[in-house]
A and B are shown apart, each in its own frame.
Chain A
Amino acid sequence: MTSSIPLIKLDDFRWEIPVSWKPGMRVPGRIFCDEKNLPKVLSDRSLEQVANVAFLPGIVRYSLAMPDIHWGYGFPIGGVAATDPNEGGVVSPGGVGYDINCGVRMLRTNLTEKDVRPRLKELVGALFSRIPCGVGESGDIRLNAKEMRQMVCKGSAWAVGRGFGEARDLAYTEAEGCLEGAEPGTVSERAYERGADQLGTLGSGNHFLEIQVVEKIFDPAAAERFGVAEGGVTVMIHSGSRGFGYQVCEDSLAAARRALSKYGIQVPDIQLACAPVHSGEGKQYLAAMRCAANFAWANRQCLAHLARQVFERFFERGPRDLGMDLIYDVAHNIAKFERFTVDGKERLLCVHRKGATRSFAPGHDELPEDYRDTGQPVIIPGDMGRNSCLLAGTRRAMEETFGSCCHGAGRALSRTAALNAARGHSIRRELEERGIIVMARGEKGIAEEQPAAYKDVNEVVETVSGAGLARKVARMRPIGVIKG
Chain B
Amino acid sequence: MAYEIFEHAADAGLRVRARDLNGLFRDAAAGLFDLVTDYAALQKTPEEVLRTVEMNFREENAPELFMHWLQELLFFFSARKLIPVRFDFITLTPLMLKMKGKAALFDPRRHVSRHEVKAVTHHRFRVFQTPGGWEAEVILDI
> Which among A243, A411, A441 is the interface contact of B79 at CB below 8 angstroms?
A243
Contact B123 A271 (CB under 8 A): yes
Cβ distance A306 to chain B, nearest Cβ, rounded Å:
18
Residues in chain A near residue B112, CB distance under 8 A:
442
Indicate whether A204 sits within 8 Å of B115 (C-beta atoms), given known contacts A193-B79, A411-B9, A415-B10: yes
Query: Contact check: which of B7, B115, B122 meets A205 at CB < 8 Å?
Result: B115
A250 within 8 A of B: yes
Assuming A411-B10, A416-B7, is B79 touching A271 (CB within 8 A)?
A: no
> A143 at the A/B interface (Cβ < 8 Å)?
no
**Complex contact A205–B142 (CB within 8 A):** yes
B12 closest partner in A (C-beta):
A415
Provide the B63-99 mask, 1 if CB < 8 A to any CB of A, else 0: 0000000010001011111000000000000000000
Which residues on B sit within 8 Å (CB–CB) of A247?
A: 75, 78
A134-B108, A415-B142 known; A249-B119 Cβ under 8 A: yes
* Cα separation A44 to B124 with both chains bound (whole Å): 14
* Distance to closest chain A CB from B6 (angstroms): 9
B71 — nearest CB in chain A belongs to which residue? A250
Interface contact B79-A70, CB-CB below 8 Å: no
For B108, list chain A residues within 8 Å (CB).
134-137, 441
Complex Cα–Cα for A71 and B139 (A): 12
* Complex: A70 Cα to B112 Cα, angstroms: 30
Report chain A residues within 8 Å CB of B142: 205, 415
A415 to B106, CA, bound (A): 24
Q: Is A276's beta carbon under 8 Å from chain B?
A: no
- Classify chain B's interface size: 20 to 34
Q: Is A67 located at the chain interface by the 8 A CB criterion? A: no
The docked-state distance in angstroms from the alpha carbon of A73 to that of B80 is 27
Judge if A190 is at the interface, Cβ distance under 8 Å.
yes
Closest residue to B37 on the A side, CB-wise? Answer: A135
Q: Using an 8 Å CB-CB cutoff, how does the interface string of B102-138 with A read, 1 for contact, 0 for none? A: 0000111001111110111111000000000000000
Report the minimal beta-carbon distance from A369 to chain B, rounded to whole angstroms. 37
Asked if B34 CB lies within 8 Å of chain A CBs, one says: no
Given the known interface contacts A246-B78, A246-B119, the answer about A135 and B9 at a Cβ–Cβ threshold of 8 Å is no
Partner of B75, one of A194, A205, A249: A194
Contacts of B106 in A (CB 8 A): 136
Say whether B62 faces chain A, with CB atoms less than 8 Å apart.
no
Q: Is A99's beta carbon under 8 Å from chain B?
A: yes
A257 partner residues in chain B, CB cutoff 8 A: 122
Bound: A67/B101 CA distance, A = 47
- From the candidates B9, B81, B113, B114, name the one contacting A414 in the complex (CB within 8 A): B9
Shortest CB–CB separation between residue A42 and chain B, in angstroms? 14
A478 interface contact, C-beta 8 A: no
Instruction: Assess whether A74 is in contact with B119, with CB atoms less than 8 Å apart.
Output: no
A253 on interface, CB distance cutoff 8 Å: yes
- Whether B12 and A190, one on each chain, are in contact in the complex, defined by CB atoms closer than 8 angstroms, is no
The answer to whether A441 and B113 have CB atoms under 8 Å apart is yes
Task: Please encode chain A, from 407 to 444, with 1 for each CB lying within 8 Å of some chain B CB and 0 for all others.
Answer: 00001001111000000000000000000000001101
Contact partners of A445 in chain B: CB under 8 A: 113-115
Q: Is B53 an interface residue (CB 8 A)?
A: no
Residues of B within 8 A of A77 (CB): 9-10
Task: Write the chain A residue with the least CB distance to B83.
Answer: A136
The residue in chain A whose Cβ has the minimal distance to the Cβ of B106 is A136
- Per the 8 Å Cβ criterion, residues 20-45 of A in contact with B are 44
B36 within 8 A of A: yes
Q: Is A206 an interface residue (CB 8 A)?
A: yes
Binding site for A on B (CB under 8 A): 5, 7-12, 36-37, 71, 75, 77-81, 106-108, 111-116, 118-123, 139, 141-142
Listed by A's residue number, 23 A-B pairs whose Cβ atoms lie within 8 Å are A73-B121, A73-B139, A74-B123, A99-B118, A135-B108, A136-B106, A136-B108, A194-B79, A205-B142, A243-B79, A246-B141, A250-B120, A253-B122, A271-B123, A414-B9, A415-B7, A415-B142, A417-B7, A441-B113, A442-B112, A442-B114, A445-B113, A484-B113
Which 4 A-B residue pairings sit nearest by Cβ, starting from the closest?
A204-B116, A135-B113, A193-B79, A414-B7
